[in-house]
Structure 1
Amino acid sequence: MSALVAALVAAAATVTVLMTATAVVARRVGRLAVVDVVWGAGFVLVALVAAVVTTVVDAGGGGTVAQRWLLVLLVAVWGGRLAWHIRSRAHGLLGPGETPPEDPRYAQLMEGKPFSYAVTRVFVTQGVAMFVVALPVVVGAAVAVPASSWQRWPIVLGVVVFAVGLAFEARGDAQLAAYKEIPKPERPPVLDTGLWAWTRHPNYFGDATVWWGLWLVGGLGSGWVAGLATVVAPIAMTYFLAFATGARLLEREMMQRPGYPEYAARTSMFVPRPPRRRAG
């Protein structure tokens, strides 16, 4: 079995086991939102399994060892931070022994429906999405970096793009957390300062940018063929974050809040740009 096939099989098996276990836990605690914590941590596990399996099967003869473990490091930094942030956000306002309420998105999704509905709509869907998005990391663990030094530029560029995306995501989350700590009587109706003055969803934009960086490192960094075969991953992640389960879905709720339509009129939804001037 080639290193690439072994890595793909191992990644698929890892995602299947992980999502099955997550579904069992979600059923036991009565909260589908646990899958959000597993989302970031799951990519770390997939990257680690792909690297280990590739090393065992190929003994270092296929993919480049430095590239393989660089991908594990980058995914671990991103996924670990995201999982910790989501978990901390859910537990931050709770007292001792209190259980976080269900995320409103999942509560609305499951209204009047059996748990079996969540298996396909949440766990299977996110499992498939995780496998597709992780393709550059899995392929990058198994496919050798082109020998010519000029062909390695995507790896260097990818690390830079990844760092920019991670900083954008982390800073956006930090600014939102600080905004929520302001007592409600003094809190502005809308967060429109810092990165939030340039985009209404800096954390989502940063998340998408991270995966374009990982594609450059693991996909395009392994050659043009690998790059073309895995470009679906950052495209899919960007689509999810901007138009499917991310920004666009959140906008439906936010547009009902006072001041948000005016904020939306002057601020880009996703890609950062200088804000328009306030009317009047």
Structure 2
Amino acid sequence: MFDGSNFLAVTGFSLLAVVLLMVATAFEGHRQGRVSVVDTTWGLGFVVVAAVAGVVGDGAGWRRLALFVVVALWGLRLAWHMHQRNSGKGEDPRYAEMLSGETGNPMLVAIRKVYAIQGLSVWFVSLPIQVSAASGRGVAPVAVIGLLLWLVGVTFESLGDKQLKDFKADPANKGKVMDRGLWSWTRHPNYFGDSCVWWGIWLVAASAWPGLITVLSPVAMTYFLVFATGARLLEKHMGERPGYAEYRQRTSYFLPRPPRR
């Protein structure tokens, strides 16, 4: 059974928590002089929502706990990875391009174009978690399938990140395009893994009504990863790198498949 009043409490507190997190991120970004700190906050935002849903929600306890665990494992790993990747570096070219040509107070511009949008995105994409927190027991096998899909996604994403990190750590690879391991099957294994993670989380939520109707949340996440702030912007930045055109011709854009000859 779904408790509408409890859902309103969960989603209200979740939105408040995300707003506070993004405000803190905006001040930290202003202090550091780079908007890319939001990449670390992105994963943490979902962990915060899952924690709020687990505490405020009164739905099935096993599902609230399961979703908190999987979101925390995914979000904390991603936040730590992004922190390590961006630490000590300047602004990410994607954000620099996004904010270029804007006039007015830089912090207010960043809030409008980056922090507010990412905060609303976190809240919207995490709706399956929020709805699930106020839902009844549901169909356990569907949740199990969702957890298995989550496991595929987080493994794919983690392995892809590690392969890229190891590749960049070798001085002999400086200036080269990473085209080994998972990166020979898809140009964006980390984004593909992310997509699987959130379709898996949606399936867990969809195991109980009305989690099924939150399908636009994983659709939105996949859109962000493929067309909005993820792969598309990265492709534009990488397009002029020597060897990338050839890599693009032989390697799938998003869905993994054997490389072309």
> Normalising to structure 2: TM-score of the pair?
0.93
Q: Which residue number corresponds to residue 9 of structure 2?
A: 6
For the Cα contact (< 8 Å) 2:36–2:86, is it kept in 1? no
Mapped pair 1:162 → 2:150: yes
Structure 1 residues 218-233: aligned runs within 5 Å: 218=205, 220-223=206-209, 225-228=210-213, 230-233=214-217
Farther-moved stretch of structure 1 (104-113 vs 116-125):
104-113
Mapped pair 1:17 → 2:2: no
Cα displacement (A) at 1:191: 1.4
Structure 1 residues 177-196: aligned runs within 5 Å: 177-184=165-172, 187=174, 189-196=176-183
Identity of counterpart residues, as a percentage? Answer: 49
Q: State how far apart, in whole Å, the 2-side matches of 1:139 and 1:21 are.
A: 26
Q: Secondary structure at the match of 1:33?
A: helix
Structure 1 residues 113-128: aligned runs within 5 Å: 113=102, 114-115=105-106, 116-128=108-120
Gaps of 5+ in 1: 92-98
CA deviation vs aligned residue, 1:30-82 (integer Å, no higher than 9, x gap): 1111111010011101110121112xxx4xxxx11010011000000000000
Amino acid at match of 2:36: A
Q: Secondary structure at the match of 1:199?
A: coil
For the Cα contact (< 8 Å) 1:195–1:202, is it kept in 2? yes
CA deviation vs aligned residue, 1:215-239 (integer Å, no higher than 9, x gap): 0112x1123x3212x1011100000
Farther-moved stretch of structure 1 (22-31 vs 164-173):
22-31
For the Cα contact (< 8 Å) 1:172–1:195, is it kept in 2? yes
Q: Which residue number corresponds to residue 50 of structure 2?
A: 47
Cα displacement (A) at 1:25: 1.7
Q: Secondary structure at the match of 1:244?
A: coil
Q: Which residue number corresponds to residue 136 of structure 1?
A: 128
Cα displacement (A) at 1:2: 2.1
Cα displacement (A) at 1:119: 1.1
> Normalising to structure 1: TM-score of the pair?
0.87
Amino acid at match of 1:105: R
Q: State how far apart, in whole Å, the 2-side matches of 1:253 and 1:123 are.
A: 22
Q: State how far apart, in whole Å, the 2-side matches of 1:83 and 1:188 are.
A: 26
Gaps of 5+ in 2: none
Q: State how far apart, in whole Å, the 2-side matches of 1:192 and 1:21 are.
A: 37
Q: Which residue number corresponds to residue 94 of structure 1?
A: none
The structure whose Rg is larger is: 1
For the Cα contact (< 8 Å) 1:198–1:274, is it kept in 2? yes
For the Cα contact (< 8 Å) 1:68–1:142, is it kept in 2? no
CA deviation vs aligned residue, 1:77-102 (integer Å, no higher than 9, x gap): 000000000111123xxxxxxx4312
Q: Which residue number corresponds to residue 95 of structure 1?
A: none
Mapped pair 1:264 → 2:254: no
For the Cα contact (< 8 Å) 1:163–1:210, is it kept in 2? yes
Could you say what the CA RMSD is over the residues aligned between the two structures, in angstroms? 1.5
Of 201, 205, 219, the residue aligned with 2:188 is: 201
Amino acid at match of 2:204: V
Of 141, 149, 164, the residue aligned with 1:153 is: 141
Cα displacement (A) at 1:247: 0.6
Amino acid at match of 1:104: P
Structure 1 residues 25-44: aligned runs within 5 Å: 25-44=28-47
Q: State how far apart, in whole Å, the 1-side matches of 2:174 and 2:27 are.
A: 39
Farther-moved stretch of structure 1 (134-143 vs 167-176):
134-143
Q: Which residue number corresponds to residue 236 of structure 2?
A: 252
Q: State how far apart, in whole Å, the 2-side matches of 1:30 and 1:72 are.
A: 33
Q: State how far apart, in whole Å, the 1-side matches of 2:100 and 2:61 are.
A: 48
Question: Hey, which bits of structure 1, 4+ residues long, moved more than 6 A?
Answer: none
For the Cα contact (< 8 Å) 1:31–1:101, is it kept in 2? yes
Q: State how far apart, in whole Å, the 1-side matches of 2:225 and 2:125 are.
A: 12
Q: Which residue number corresponds to residue 273 of structure 1?
A: 257
Cα displacement (A) at 1:133: 0.4
Cα displacement (A) at 1:111: 3.0
